[in-house]
Structure 1
Amino acid sequence: MSPGRPPGLQHVDANTPTVLVLPGPVTKDEVSGLCDDVRALLEAAGGGVVVCDVGGLGPPGLGVVDLLARLELAARRAGGRIRLRDPDPALPALLDLVGLRFEMEGEPEQREPPLRVEEEVEPGQPAV
């Protein structure tokens, strides 16, 4: 018998964001319910970030842009913001084209700062 997860609640700390998986494709009727979900998650967590897993939304289009803009607006009104996980490679370019900026998981701001880089010097020059 292999050991499973320990019984009880999964450990979640203040640095662990809440994740909302967006099923694809999303209809116009589902948008308001997803906005309500984002608001409820942020209110339960006391603000912060909701990570929206957008990998299942399919190819990006204006419907996806509209959905994400509405989710971000709902999050801002609830005192938080959203971060996108697993976007289609074309989605960041489309969002930039329409003038919307979203934080993506895995961007350099989310990683640790790079280690110091030592530059090579030409022979005979002092090291800096």
Structure 2
Amino acid sequence: MSSAPHGGLPDVDARTPPVLVLPGPGPLARDEVAGWCAAVGELVAGGGVVVCDVGAVRAPGLGAVEVLARLQLAARRGGGRIRLRAPAPGLLSLLDLVGLRLQVEGQAEEGEPALAVEEAVETGDTAL
């Protein structure tokens, strides 16, 4: 008994975004950042998402902010966006301070209600 071959990779979930892991506390070379930006641009082509694991960045500075800004710009140019995984509170504060709004894993996307939140309905409300 045989079955017809099916397209695509059998063990890959199409809804799982690729993950880019940023290295630890040391500064990044410009050529590394340029390579990552090119990779992000390719991965998000057509509106995808790339998850940036920033868990190793424990003492954030403006260098980390610059890298994330460049990655977000590359993603936007490709029609997608980046999402942060495991950001330190200091990094989130610094991003907020400079006005760089990035989505964080586990948070509701802008314009979407948070999970497990239901609207209350009063018994006297009229139906629309």
Map 1:41-120 onto structure 2 (within 5 A).
41-43=43-45, 46-109=46-109, 112-115=115-118
Structure 2: 5+ residue runs without aligned partners? 1-8
Give the partner amino acid of 1:77: R
Q: Structure 1 CA distance, aligned partners of 2:93 and 2:75?
A: 22
- Partners of 1:33 and 1:53 lie apart in 2 by 17
Q: CA RMSD in A?
A: 2.5
State the identity %.
54
What is the letter of the counterpart of residue 82 of structure 2? I
SS at match of 2:81: strand
TM-score by length of 1: 0.73
Q: How many angstroms apart in 2 are the aligned matches of 1:9 and 1:22?
A: 28
Runs of 4+ residues deviating >4 angstroms: 115-118
Q: Equivalent residue for 2:11?
A: 10
Cα deviation for residue 19 of structure 1 reads: 1.4
Aligned residue number for residue 3 of structure 1: none
- The AA in structure 2 aligned to 1:103 is Q
One-letter amino acid of the counterpart of residue 74, structure 1: A
